[in-house]
Structure 1
Amino acid sequence: MRSLKLAGLASTALCVVALSTSANAQIDDEVVIATDTRQAYLGNFNPLEVPNADQVIDSELLENAGVLNLSEALDLSASVARQNNFGGLWNSFSVRGFAGDINLPSGFLVNGFNAGRGFGGPRDLAGIESVSVLKGPRSALFGRGEPGGTVNLVTKRPQFESGGYIKGTVGSWEQYRAEADIQHFVSGDGGDLGFRLVGFYEDAESFRNDVETEKLGFYPSVTLNLNDAATVTYELEYTEQELPFDRGVVFSEEFGFSPRDFFVGENVPIETQVLGHQLEVEFDLNENWSLLTGAGYRETSLEGDAFEPQFGSRQTFFRDDEGGQFVSRFFRSRDFESDYVVLRGELAGEFNTGGLRHRLILGADYDEFDNTLVIDRGRPSPRGDFLGEGRLLTDATPAELGRFLLLDINNPVYGLNLAPDAGANTNRNEVLSGFGLYIQDQIDITDQLQVRIGGRFSDFEQDITNNLVDPNATRTTSDTRFSPQVGVVYRVNEGVSLYASYGEGFRQQTGVDFQGDQFDPNLTDSLEGGVKAELGQFFDTVNGSVSLTVFQVNQDNFLVNDDRPEATAVGFFSIPAGEAASTGVEFDANVEFENDLSLWVSYAYTDAEFKNSFADADGFGFTIDAGDPLINTPKHQFNVQAAKNFDLGAIQAQLGGGLLYVGDRNGFVGSDFELPDYTTVRAFAEIEPVENISLRLDVDNIFDETFYTNSFANVWVEPGAPRRFRITAAYNF
């Protein structure tokens, strides 16, 4: 961890040196500099020309919704559902019902670079300009992403202007947060240099008993424009967090859910760190062609102890004759590290052949993900009668409760045994690497009809070493795949288009089977169609877009429990044999009215279910039947967000609010345990009493709804927060 801090300081020093070398350049605030740079893999297309139902959650919407982290931002998209987030230590989500590997964070991109992999903690939105939800498998270009879609974060980069903001927030449960965004530029004969410094610090307690968190992040960036011939951008990501491992509340048929403030863990922090670098160079070869090259390196770590509820098979709930309720826990100590390297180059442009217009993307990339997992585990006796001689659990001494890691739900006492006996459970290094070539051509057949064709050839390799068995024995396997895509767009007029698309995707799977062989990739195929409209083409007083989409997504080869005798004889292993399908309808609208009213609406109906029967992948003794629902996937999800600007005399003001509805959903694969549906309402008010100074009040969960956002099992259920207040003061300059 010390090396991460030193590297972060060194990178910051390099930024300062780069700025100082331009000290002789003349500062010219009147200079207007074009700063638009294209995103890799996406090309330059009007939204009506894209044969997919994508969503862009821009900075204004993020600000209006008052979101501070990626999970809250993705709640704005009804196509995205929260999944088990590893005790609050990473982001995990599904798109259109499908999630990735439950043992790793969900894959997401930052400026097209894969940044979801790794163990750097949940992503804060400081430094993020917008969040895009790219629905459907995108492996034909990206070569990565989750089965139902890809999330791409666009960072705040220099805009060649001077200004920024400083803001402070005070909220419920002793939340204190400071955030800053400052940028400036210099202009000279050799080019223009812009720099931007973004950072935050937050210290907070929680509605959960005995829980505290501390976070900080620093995200500087530098952009150099070389006389319109090339643009070079460097970004640093440094984040450090201390978070307790929190599996949430527990549920049983006898008692229902434990109180939402009941914390089953211990207030011993898990420390996570991220140090990431991104470098991009864009060359404008001529007015029709450009070349984009880039490199990324991201180093993460996660280290600390956790106390987690045991499952029902090990008597999670104990009850005695005096009504005492106790939770049985086990202990795990983790030390995770990862390194991620990405290289890419992409040529994009357009040309004509025989009267047909072609817009071409041609590229290659390489990535390597190296992760090491070390886990020690201690599990006390699973039996509830360990006291013996007819003694009740309520008679247990603190020493006995501590020895067996028991926690009284009604009167929890923490810190009784923070260093229980533990033995080696996992010690594994895995390296996933891949090389890809991709091409996409969108052809204007007529003025109204466009066809998109493309595909990606991928060659990938896995090296895995089980240090508990033999640290000198590394198993290497490899595979190749081709992922095609095809789409068609019909422009009805300037404001409406119809589209349809088909795509195939794949995802490398971590780990090995009981024979030590690499798993076949997780495979996805997706068909969708819909209609899009730009409202500004039809109404003088309304701007924005609406879309209606239907989709069908199939998934094969996801991992299930290997119940073959030769596998069960030596332990618990998985095999790629699962099949599932997701069918649904989505409606999205992002509308701005002439009277300064903005409206965001997102609704999704998603019917996601297993298509074959098998023993579940996690070895809990359940049998999954064809037709069973996928975990944490509501059939109905709806989000609406509105904001209105107005004047109070000479004071500018804004009012707004939002509503989130999430339907009931399966909470434990293979069982009939369900998380109840919920509706939460939030509101905000903001005024600018003095020029450049604003005051804002946020109230979340106004009606103090008790709700649960996701689960892995009935004893690992994440509760939502009660009613919460936040006051923010900001100075803009």
Structure 2
Amino acid sequence: MTHKTHVRRLLPALLAIACTSHAETTENPDQLEEITVKATTTRNKASDYYQKDAGGATRTDTPLQETSQSVKIISRQVLDDIHATRLDDTFDLVSGVSRQNNYGGLWDNFAIRGFAGHDNTGPAMLRNGFSGNRGVNPPRDTANTERVEFLKGPAAALYGNSEPGGTLNVVTKKPQFKSSNVAEVYAGSYDTYLTSIDSTGALSENLAYRMIVAAEDKGSFRDYVDSERLLIAPSFTWLLGPSTTLNYELEYLKHRTPIDRGIALRDSNGNRLPHIKLSRFLGEPNAGDVTMEAYTHQLSLEHEFSERWRGRIGIAYKDNKTEGNTVEQLTGINRVTPGGTVSRRQRGRDFDSDDLSLQAELNGKFETGSINHDFLVGIEAYRFNNHQIQLTSAAVAPINLYAPVYGQQALPHLTTLSDFKEKQTDIALFVQDQLSLTEKWKLMGGLRFESYRQELHTRHNSPGTEAKQDHFVVSPRAGITYVASPQVSLYGSFSRSFRPNSGAAGGSQYGLDATGKGFNPERSRAFELGLKYQSLNQRLGGNIALFDITKHNVLTADPADPGFSIAAGEVRSRGLELDLSGQLTECLRLIASYAYVDAYLGKDLQAASSIVEAGSRLMNIPKHSANTLLMHEQPLTNGGKLGLGGGFSYVGKRTDGPEALFDLPSYVTVRLMTYWQIDEKLRLSFDVTNLFDREYYTSSYTNTWAMPGTPRMMTLGLQAKF
């Protein structure tokens, strides 16, 4: 039975549950009143656009206003208002965040302040403070997401290897002891259906549960491209005593989709191809789909030793598998004829990885004379195993952009292109102290000492190649904050970070240079100055930040052997960010941002067949971007609410890929959001994205892999509490 069948069978069942529940609770006003109070209490923590706690930025309960770092938190209220179903729905709402090549639809990929993860590994991402995406991971679902924290700047001092532009931390929903049950169903353009159930409550006085199930059958404006997803996420909270809590979470996510590399934009002469249908699929419908499965377990024990001291120990295990075949267009300017005929290849993928992490930390508050300390010390260790097999075949018949003919030949037999294993082991000690020198001056310092080992084994050619490397890394950060008033604070910070270089090198030697050695890790340093604002009622807040970041040891083609790579590149990013979010009035909430990001090569980049000169802009990074989202909520006389909102996203022009052959044009998209809260139990919604049906491109990797944006899309939804 397919996911589509599951979804369509669940839709009427959930509608029936919702309507039945509404009828039953209406007949019993006492029960309705009791559940209403519980639902309101549960949502208070996530009901504001502006979140005043720093969250993952310090791993402590430091207020955002006192943190010497730019942090943007997308709350559950924002996710609900825009009806975000996937993590990438949040990218346009945060300054300095830009979309990147998403591996044909197989993962979430983004850049913060101009820095993206490696082409074949993606950016650094956390899930409840644990690494969330080592290896190849399916796009995240938001059904079990409480909030998304964008931690700007290097996070290596607390979390280890990461990109210097910033790190994304997804915080999941937790079990509640007050009963709540929510069912949601959505139907949208392009034959898109989604249904979910979120149930939480007490199993006993000391044990609470939460069960979240979401199924999606998502159509597409792209020919022959759709996806199916299934999320099952049970979790439990056990109060072992008045000061001790045990939490366990399981997440199972299955994602199935064909790889879609988008369309070609330029021919071999460098000319723009005219009149291309944005729906055109350049693969083969009969090549099959890629299926991704991810199992994530997280277990944590928290204990309060006193009012001032608390400890936490946690363990996480993640197991991923990706497999499937595809036909996709070849990269390179010479792969497209002036008549629009595109060369293609067949590829097969069989990826397996497992990731085991352990964390232990102690946080306490104490004084030395007149200085107050918020002290944190911890250890962290992980072991990551990654096995990737890639297959290829003889040439596949080319396809014409204007008159595609599918199934011209039986797909040829696949043979092994590369087969490698990678093992990473890491152990780290981190220390952080936040000092309140006076009521106005706050000082923060942190150090992380990390011992990292990488083992690579390529097995395509007998007897294969093995390489090992060890690194000891110290990642410092320091910051100072001046709290001028309860409303305004100024801050400055400096930090360093690193990230292992485990990317492709050339031929079948994944992660190795021409001499068979591994690459030195990327190393970065960053400066940031900023101003934070918070209204007196703490419901509206904003941030202005200036930053300057440099990253070294970026992989570039080896001049002596361009088929391989060396760690010798440098990239820089400087810019300005503005963010504002919260309640403008009791009925009007806002989220808005603007970013100027000047991200460019600091040294010449040696590509396979050319040199990209220093000063060239990094791919898919706009210099200017902005967004605004407004939601007006009007109470009704019967106790319901009526919401009407909208907003726009602007993305400036961007270079298409490493060779910077052309620019993707700038664009503006507009969204419309409406809902009718009929009563405390039922809510109807109607949303339109890309209201004016603008044609645009979200990202590109080369001239043959440009991804068109989604045309106008309408979605009708129903939410029921019971």
Taking structure 2 as the reference length, the TM-score comes to 0.89
Residues 254-273 of structure 1: matches in 2 within 5 Å?
254-256=272-274, 258-267=276-285, 268-273=288-293
* Correspondence list, 1:244-323, <5 A: 244-252=258-266, 253-256=271-274, 258-267=276-285, 268-312=288-332, 314-317=334-337, 319=339
| Deviation for aligned residue 1:199 | 1.4
Q: Distance in 2 between matches of 1:88 and 1:186?
A: 39
User: Which digits, 9 at most, give the CA deviation of each residue in 1:113-162, with x for residues without a partner?
Assistant: 11122223211111011000000001011103222110000001112210
Residue in structure 1 matching 2:674, options 664, 675, 685: 685
2:664 aligned partner: 675
Distance 1:471 1:82 in 2: 40
Within 5 Å, give how 1:602-681 maps onto structure 2.
602-616=593-607, 619=608, 621-650=609-638, 651-681=640-670
State which of 150, 157, 172 in structure 1 corresponds to 2:167: 150
Residue 533 of structure 2 corresponds to: 533
Q: Deviations over 1:535-593 (max 9, x none)?
A: 125xxxx83101111111111111111112xx35xxx1111111111110111001203
Q: After TM superposition, give the deviation of residue 446 of structure 1 in Å.
A: 1.4
Distance change in 2, residues 1:257/1:275 (3 Å): farther
Structure 2 CA distance for partners of 1:678 and 1:35, relative to 1, 3 Å: closer
1:475 to 2:471 alignment:
no
Out of 546, 552, 558, the residue aligned to residue 550 of structure 1 is 546
Deviates more, 1:514-523 or 1:659-668: 514-523
How many Å apart are 1:249 and its aligned residue?
Answer: 1.1
- Name the counterpart of 2:706: 717
Identical amino acids, percent of aligned pairs: 33
Q: Which position in structure 1 is the counterpart of 2:588? A: 597
Instruction: Return the alpha-carbon distance in structure 2 between the equivalents of residues 240 and 265 of structure 1.
Output: 23
Note closer, same or farther for the CA distance 1:63–1:481 as it changes in structure 2 (3 Å cut).
Answer: same
Q: Is the 2:421–2:456 Cα contact (8 Å) retained in structure 1?
A: yes
Match of 2:373 among 358, 361, 366: 358
Is contact 2:164–2:526 with CA below 8 Å preserved after alignment? no
Measured at CA, do residues 648 and 351 of structure 1 come closer, stay the same or move farther in structure 2, by a change above 3 Å? closer
Counterpart residue number, 1:23: none
State whether residues 456 and 468 of structure 2, in contact with CA within 8 Å, keep that contact through their aligned partners in structure 1: yes
Residue in 2 aligned with 1:207? 221
Structure-1 separation of matches of 2:680 and 2:366: 50
Amino acid at match of 1:100: G
> Which of 534, 558, 566 is the equivalent residue of 1:562?
558
What corresponds to 1:108 in structure 2?
Answer: 125
1:65-84 matches, within 5 Å, as 65-84=82-101
- State the match for 1:61 in structure 2: 78
**Cα offset, 1:286, TM superposition:** 0.8
Task: Give the letter aligned to residue 522 of structure 1.
Answer: E
Give me the whole-angstrom Cα distance separating, in 1, the residues matched to 2:303 and 2:44. Answer: 13
2:19 maps to what in 1? Answer: none
Q: Does 1:586 align with 2:577?
A: yes
CA contact (8 A) 1:535 1:546 kept: no
Q: Secondary structure at the match of 2:156?
A: coil
Structure 1 distance, partners of 2:44, 2:682, is 27
Q: CA, structure 1 residues 347+560, in 2 after alignment: closer, same or farther (shift >3 Å)?
A: same
Of 424, 428, 438, the residue aligned with 1:432 is: 424
CA distance in 1, matches of 2:325, 2:183: 35
Identify which range, 468-477 or 512-521, moves more after superposition.
468-477
Matched, 1:704 2:674: no
CA distance, structure 1, for counterparts of residue 517 and residue 238 of structure 2: 47
- Confirm whether residue 331 of structure 1 aligns to residue 352 of structure 2: no
The unaligned stretches of length 5 or more in structure 2 are 1-33, 46-52, 503-510
Q: 1:163 aligns with which of 175, 180, 183?
A: 180
Matches within 5 A, 1:378-397: 378-380=393-395
- How many pairs are equivalent? 663
Aligned amino acid, residue 301 of structure 1: K
- Asked whether the 8 Å contact 2:276–2:402 carries over to 1, the reply is no
- What does residue 8 of structure 1 align with? none
Deviations for 1:650-701, whole angstroms, at most 9, x for unmatched residues?
3421111121000001112123311100000001110123541111101010
Secondary structure of the residue aligned to 2:121 is: coil
Match of 1:406 in 2: 398
Contact 1:588 1:601 in 2 (8 A): yes
In 2: Cα distance, 1:35 partner to 1:193 partner: 22
- The offset of 1:226, in angstroms, is 2.1
Q: Match for residue 31 of structure 2? A: none
C-alpha distance in 1, partners of 2:333/2:264? 14
Structure 2 CA distance, aligned partners of 1:496 and 1:471? 63
SS in 2 for 1:220: strand
Q: What amino acid does structure 2 have at the position aligned with 1:596? A: C
What is the CA–CA distance in structure 2 between the aligned matches of 1:471 and 1:239, rounded to whole Å? 37
Change (3 A) 1:504 1:588: same
Q: Are residues 370 and 352 of structure 1, via their aligned partners in 2, closer, same or farther at CA, if it must alter by over 3 Å?
A: same
Residue in 2 aligned with 1:228? Answer: 242
Structure 1 Cα separation of the partners of residues 582 and 354 of structure 2: 41
Q: Distance in 1 between matches of 2:139 and 2:653?
A: 25
Structure 1: 5+ residue stretches without partners: 1-27, 320-324, 381-403
Q: Which residue of 1 aligns with 2:485?
A: 493
> Does the CA contact (< 8 Å) of 1:40 and 1:346 recur in 2?
no
Letter in 1 for 2:74: I
State the Cα distance separating 1:356 from its structure 2 match.
1.0
Give the Cα–Cα distance (whole angstroms) in 1 for the partners of residues 427 and 275 of structure 2. Answer: 47
Shift of 1:376: 1.1
1:379 is displaced (CA, Å) by: 4.4
Q: Partner amino acid for 1:366?
A: A
Residue 471 of structure 1: CA displacement?
Answer: 5.8
CA contact (8 A) 2:252 2:295 kept: yes
* Deviation by residue 1:477-524 (Cα, 9 ceiling, x = unmatched): 211110111100111012211100000000011012111212111011
Structure 1 residue 257: Cα displacement: 6.9
State the partner residue of 2:7.
none
Q: CA deviation at 1:228?
A: 2.1
Q: More displaced, 681-690 or 659-668? A: 681-690
In structure 2, how many angstroms separate the alpha carbons of the residues matched to 1:33 and 1:311? Answer: 50
Q: Secondary structure at the match of 1:536?
A: coil
> Partner amino acid for 1:113?
F
Q: CA deviation at 1:298?
A: 0.3
Alignment match, 1:421:
413
Alignment RMSD (CA, Å): 2.1
Task: Judge conservation of contact 2:148–2:171 (CA < 8 Å) in 1.
Answer: yes
Partner-residue secondary structure (3-state), 1:206: coil
Q: Secondary structure in 2 aligned to 1:405? A: strand
Preserved CA contact (<8 Å) 2:547 2:574: yes
8 Å contact 1:35–1:160 — kept in the other structure? no
The letter for the 1-side match of 2:554 is: F
